[in-house]
Structure 1
Amino acid sequence: MNESAAHEKSFAFSIRIVSLCRHLRKQRCEQALIQQILRSGTSIGANLAEASYAVSKKDFFSKVHISLKECSETWYWLRLLHATSCLTDQQFESLKQDCLELMRLLTATTKTLAGQNL
């Protein structure tokens, strides 16, 4: 994994999620959904930041894997927000592209790491 690219993409995605949540609050979307996507969407980058200071390869793998799980959860919340008309098609498609790109990157990274004898 190009750590710098993953960090930059996840940080930019976190910024988009924070902006989205501000917008959703103004739209009076369900607060519980806003909190869920805010937590999972920003956790992706936070766990990658932690991975940078992992104390072992297993710790590094664990943090990257948690990032992948948070990305998967964020994808779920995006689909739910779209299905309940909290997100427009345009908002959804843009966020979908970024989320799935991160998911592909993190999936490839975890597969590579899993192939190494940690």
Structure 2
Amino acid sequence: MPNQIVDKSFFFAQRSLDFYLHLKSKGHFRLADQFVGASTSIGANVEEAQAAHSKADFIAKIIIAAKEARETKYWLKLLDRKEFIENEEEFTFLKNEIEELIKILNSIVISSRKNLKK
């Protein structure tokens, strides 16, 4: 059974790697490293949440993923400059997708917390 957040966060990480490689090829090593660390951590934490040993552990992992998503959004805002962007369509995809990931992750946290109280 497909899991939307697992699939979306993995696909986002794959696309982020392309942008990371572009940044590195232009010599922006520190920015590239900061961006790729945050952007790939989203999916890694979502994946860890799938094997959580409790509902509280699941929520904690999803909260970390949401924080990494917000950090990624910060890096994308900072990198939204002509000298960093090679493919405007790809960059727009990353900006739109991170907004969607943040919304989904926040929704998961809210609904999981409600379910935990039941």
Please give the TM-score of this superposition, normalised by the length of structure 2.
Answer: 0.89
Aligned positions of 1:9-24 closer than 5 A = 9-24=8-23
Q: How many positions carry a matched residue from both structures?
A: 116
Q: Flag structure 1 segments of 5+ consecutive residues without an equivalent.
A: none
Give 1:67's aligned residue.
65
1:27 and 2:15 matched: no
Amino acid at match of 2:19: L
Give 2:78's aligned residue.
80
Give 1:51's aligned residue.
49
CA–CA distance in 2 between the matches of 1:26 and 1:39?
A: 17
Amino acid at match of 2:76: L
CA–CA distance in 1 between the matches of 2:65 and 2:2?
A: 13
Amino acid at match of 1:25: K
Amino acid at match of 1:65: I
CA–CA distance in 1 between the matches of 2:106 and 2:82?
A: 28
After superposition, give the CA deviation of every residue in 1:51-99 in whole Å (9 maximum; x if it has no partner): 0110111000000110000000000001111147412554432211111
How far 1:115 sits from its partner (Å)?
Answer: 2.2
Amino acid at match of 1:44: I
Give 2:112's aligned residue.
113
Q: Flag structure 2 segments of 5+ consecutive residues without an equivalent.
A: none
- Could you tell me which of 27, 42, 47 is aligned with 2:40? 42
CA–CA distance in 2 between the matches of 1:15 and 1:51?
A: 19
Moved more, 35-44 or 82-91: 82-91
Amino acid at match of 1:67: A
RMSD: 1.9
| Percent identical | 34
Please give the TM-score of this superposition, normalised by the length of structure 1.
Answer: 0.89
